Amino acid sequence: MAGVNRWVGMGLALVLAAGCAPGDEQPAPGGMREFEASLEGLEQLAREFPPVDGAPLRWPQDHAAHPGQFTESWLVAGLLRDQSGGRHGFQLLLQRVALWSAEAERASAWAAEAAWYGRFVLEQPGAPQLAADRLSRDALGLAGTTEAPVAAWLEDWRIELQPESGTLTVRAQSDTGGMELRLALPPAPPAPLAAEARRGYWWPGLEGTGAIRHGETVLEVRGTALLERWWGRAPPAGSGQLALARVWLLDATGGAVRCEQLRRRGGGGTPLGSCTEYPSGREITAVPAPAGDEGVAGAPPLRWRLDWPGGGGDFAWEPLARPGDPGPEWSGLLVPEAAGVAAGRWGLLALSNFGAP
């Protein structure tokens, strides 16, 4: 499930969460018109929630759930190395979307206040991405959050913070792979983020160890990761005639830059972009630009170039794994294309609403 299909699934969950068990009779989902109507219903629901406040970032309180918000997400991604030096990328996204703007009494144990979407990705150089998606509800222990410990989970996928010990644990399993990591939080605090109708923070420089599984092979690994957290009432990133590209690039010493580029869907017009450096928080004048794929009609740009001193200069970044056939929404790890660049540098690319108009 990728791109708009994720949000269509959330819209259909409005029906599924109305208080019926899986065995109860359900209306057929119908064709694309019904799917689009479900998505429009979600966008209308988002407007029923209060706007996010401008309170300063609170840490670690803001890592916990924000149940009064329409949607919120937790994303952890990183680059790991096994004992032989092999590289392994991962992503784990957990996202909650409210199904109601006010509490209602529903008798069924399957009734839910929110739908949950999860995506777990494992990557190796030159190999296809191994991705798994889940969609569930916060009923009968299927998904949810806890405050002690501070955690978000979807079935056996879990992102848990232990602020006392300064660690973040990440666990996920699928048919094709799995991982369990223990990451140490960096000494510098997270950097706040603010956008229209949402707020959050990002935090690069997490370091840790653990185990990763590809098929039946389990490897001990160590590496670095980033955490990004959002909450608010914003609709899906990238909608209508606009496409959004987000790029995170990390250097070998704990520094990082986070960039966004908003462009017309299909690549036309002059894109708008901005970059913020970590941990300084300053905006940098250089912004990323696609380094290829521009001449292919409807092809999303998967190679990017940025002249960022902290990243080692001007060169292109390319996907770590084989991207396959990217749809309107795609995400994957980036590594420097040039030979001889420091091994600790890596990045993450997330595309929303790309493709031909």
Structural domain boundaries in the chain: 1-50+57-236, 238-357
| Model pLDDT, residue 4 | 40
Report which residue type is found at 72.
Answer: E
| Model pLDDT, residue 182 | 98
Pair 240, 263: CB distance under 8 Å: no
| Model pLDDT, residue 234 | 75
- Homologous superfamily in CATH for domain 1-50+57-236: AttH-like domain (2.40.370.10)
**Burial grade of 269 (CB within 10 A; 0-12, 13-18, 19 or more):** exposed
pLDDT tens track, the chain, 357 positions: 444 445 545 544 444 444 433 333 333 344 444 444 545 566 777 777 777 877 888 888 888 888 888 889 999 999 999 999 999 999 999 999 887 766 655 555 455 678 889 999 999 999 999 999 998 877 667 888 888 889 999 999 999 999 889 999 999 999 999 999 999 999 999 999 988 788 999 999 999 999 999 999 999 999 999 999 999 987 655 456 678 889 999 987 788 999 998 877 665 566 778 899 999 888 988 888 888 765 455 678 899 998 887 777 788 999 999 998 887 789 999 999 877 676 789 999 999 887 655
